[in-house]
Amino acid sequence: MTIAILNSKGGVGKTTITTTLAGTLQERGYAVLLVDADPQGSAVAWHHRRAEAERKSGHLACVQITRTTLDRDLASTNADYVVIDGSARLEKLSVSAIKAADVVLIPVQPSVLDLWDVSGTAALVKARQQAHGALPGRLLWSVARSRVPCWRRRWKRRSAPWGCRC
Ligand X SMILES: Nc1ncnc2c1ncn2[C@@H]1O[C@H](COP(=O)(O)OP(=O)(O)OP(=O)(O)O)[C@@H](O)[C@H]1O
Q: How far is the CB of 81 from ligand X (least distance, A)?
A: 19
Nearer to ligand X, 40 or 119 (CB): 40
User: Which residues is 100 bridged to in the sheet?
Assistant: none
d(CA 56, CA 127): 38
> Quick one: what does residue 13 bind among Mg ion, ligand X, none, with the CB cut-off 5 to 8 Å set by partner type?
ligand X
Per CB under 5 A, the segment of 13-21, 65-73, 130-138, 157-165 that binds Mg ion is 13-21
> Quick one: what does residue 148 bind among ligand X, Mg ion, none, with the CB cut-off 5 to 8 Å set by partner type?
none
Q: Are strands 103-108 and 32-36 parallel, antiparallel or unpaired?
A: unpaired
> Quick one: what does residue 11 bind among ligand X, Mg ion, none, with the CB cut-off 5 to 8 Å set by partner type?
ligand X
Q: Measured between alpha carbons, how far is residue 17 from residues 4, 69, 140, 141 in Å?
A: 11, 24, 10, 10
Q: How far is the CB of 4 from ligand X (least distance, A)?
A: 13
Residue 62 neighbours by CB under 8 Å, 6+ apart: 33, 34, 35, 36, 43, 44, 47, 48
Which residues in the 27-66 window bind Mg ion by CB under 5 A? Answer: 42
Residue numbers at the binding site for ligand X (CB under 6 A): 10-16, 38, 40, 42, 88, 142-143
Q: How far is the CB of 15 from ligand X (least distance, A)?
A: 3
Q: How far is the CB of 148 from ligand X (least distance, A)?
A: 12
d(CA 65, CA 56): 22
Cβ–Cβ < 8 Å for 164, 125:
yes
